[in-house]
Amino acid sequence: MDLDLRKLRYFTAVAQHEHFGRAAAQLHIAQPVLSRQIRALEQELGCSLLVRTTRSVRLTPAGRQLYEDAPGVLAAAQAATRRVHGAARADRLVVGFAPGLSVSPAILAFTRTHPDVEIELLHLNWYEKGEALRDGRADVGFLRRPFDEDGIHTVPVGSEPKVVCLPTTHPLASRRRLTLAALDGETILDFHARRTATVEEKLELVAAGRGIALLPRSVARSYSRPDLANRPVTDVPPTEICLAVLEGRRDGHVDDFLTTATHTLSEHRS
């Protein structure tokens, strides 16, 4: 059988923390999702890897063996990915980007000095930002934190404020700006409350009155709709924006693009 590398990384995080909640926080996924992935891994392997208690988890003998083997397996897979994509993409670069972010200024600047390099774009959902770099689908990411940065090199290029998205019929929609205190008692749709696969799905839930959402301002602007209102939240920390590449993945044109994009996008967002 094939060993799912994503599930192996999830298992390693649980084994390190000996706790599902802390591992889920590190991975930036919901705890129920993590639990399902580990159970699926156990089913695929045909053995129990963890002994679960109400407060922690501990490794079974099979789990200890997998935990010892995991670093070598993950490192070998990562190295192979770098070599394969480095050979296949001599004149091609795949740039992944998070919803609402515009990477086009960097692509235009890079194309002026590298006209023979083919640029492909990959739209990334919130739950696959780091994974797209690790599994080789993207060479470079233009992303928002937080995400699982294990094995990933990041370069900050700016930040943006958050807004609260709520139905236009909501009492708070009449205010020009809000604070977190004003949102007390509201159901905020995040990965702890409810996992959504896309921005569109989250906005549909907001419009249906199932809760409200804190979004980066650029996302709210990109997905504006007449039945939803977006209001600034003055005391929420801004969202950090960064460029990201797999550690050691600086072959081919990746390093040149990273240098150009860092300058261009930092300037564009200032």
pLDDT, residue 250, reads: 67
Query: What are the structure tokens assigned to 261, written together?
Result: 């994009």
Q: How confident is the model at residue 136 (pLDDT cuts 50, 70, 90)?
A: confident
pLDDT, residue 159, reads: 94
Give the helix/strand (H/E) hosting 205. Answer: helix 199-207
Q: How confident is the model at residue 71 (pLDDT cuts 50, 70, 90)?
A: confident
DSSP string, 167-179: ETTSGGGGSS-B-
pLDDT, residue 148, reads: 85
pLDDT, residue 89, reads: 55
For residues 27 and 54, the answer to whether their CB atoms sit within 8 Å is no
Do strands 50-52 and 57-59 pair parallel, antiparallel, or not at all (unpaired)? antiparallel
Side chain identity, residue 262: T
pLDDT, residue 75, reads: 75
Query: What are the structure tokens assigned to 203, written together?
Result: 């906005």
For residues 268 and 213, the answer to whether their CB atoms sit within 8 Å is no
pLDDT, residue 266, reads: 86
pTM (2 decimals)?
Answer: 0.66
Residues 113 and 115: their CA atoms lie apart, in Å, by: 6
